[in-house]
Amino acid sequence: MAVRSTREIRRAVVTGGAGFLGSHLCEHLLDRGVEVVCLDNFLTGSPENVLHLMERPGFRLVRCDVTDYVHVPGPVDLVLHFASPASPVDYLKMPIETLKVGSLGTLHTLGLAKEKGARYVLASTSEVYGDPLEHPQREEYWGNVNPVGPRGVYDEAKRFSEALTTAYRTSQDTDTAIVRIFNTYGPRMRPDDGRAIPAFVGQALAGRPLTVAGDGSQTRSICYVDDTVRGILALAFSTETGPVNIGNPDELSMLDLARWIVRLTGSASEIGFIDLPVDDPKVRRPDTTRAQQLLDWQPQVPSEEGLRRTVDWFAAQRELLAAHVG
């Protein structure tokens, strides 16, 4: 079990706080009584994701690009650096922006944490393992990444940000931690962000064929957003440095995921196949032993329940949009 920090966290900065995962982090922190400064340049995030938080005491939304400059007046106890395009559609379209937020954005937010004497948590990713030759993936595994492949802009940005975060901890005495996040899903994902679950759900609800890449045998381990956030905050409120994998070891193939979503939506959609993207990982499953031992964390939401909640949210969004257009 990790020794809990004796420092009280009263005010946190969340970069990328108007994104899918960042908005859930903001919400959970507010529920814990922590004031939140949400920074976002709205490149892939949206103010709509935090609209329901705007009237809550202690929440502040600031338009800010952390690759330029970061200034937050007043005390800060925790910096959560979650700003970055995170889906292949986004980072393939914005490769330079992705590299900049992983390098300059990490540098600037680490500088903020050092200036304020704050705890710092870097959002890293299972993508640092690349197309892994070790399965499941342990934190000790160095990965199998193609630095000049199309996914390299995201993978290497995160690998660099991990090295920079570690350097600040070892040479600048900054209190840092690294979380490696595996495939997370849930409400507030963008329908068009290119990831499998929103794509499949959108296609199923519209009665279109679900487009499975390759033969669908490649696997992912999907973790419901509430579980992911619990794990991130368990690390944030601890004294552990990481890296720590946070994800659900419940591994399934993309073809099985597509079939599952067709069943949950009650759709008559068929399943079609498209070419497999370049350097697409064949397998992905976290070894979560470290998270269990150090943080007393493990996922609690069964995948079927999480998928049902996600399908219900997307269906409600479609109804709202149809009512608005109508």
CA atoms within 13 A on the CB side of 59: 21
Q: Which one is catalytic: 120, 129, 154, 185?
A: 154
Token readout for 315 is: 């269906």
Residue from 81, 129, 120, 78 nearest 104 by CA = 81
Can you list the domains of the chain with their CATH numbers?
11-189+224-247+285-300 (3.40.50.720)
| 91 is known as an active-site residue | no
Mean pLDDT per segment of 10 residues, for the chain of length 326 residues? 64 98 98 98 97 97 96 98 94 96 98 98 97 96 95 96 98 98 96 91 95 93 97 97 96 95 95 88 95 97 97 92 68
- What DSSP element (H or E) covers 13? strand 11-15
DSSP string, 160-223: HHHHHHHHHHHHS---EEEEEE--EE-TT--TTS--HHHHHHHHHHHTPPEEEETTS--EEE-E
pLDDT given at position 280:
83
Cα angle value 297/14/164 (rounded, 5°)? 80
pLDDT given at position 279:
80
pLDDT given at position 32:
97
CA distances from 242 to 65, 120, 239, 253 (A): 26, 12, 9, 28
pLDDT given at position 325:
64
pLDDT given at position 61:
98
pLDDT given at position 7:
66
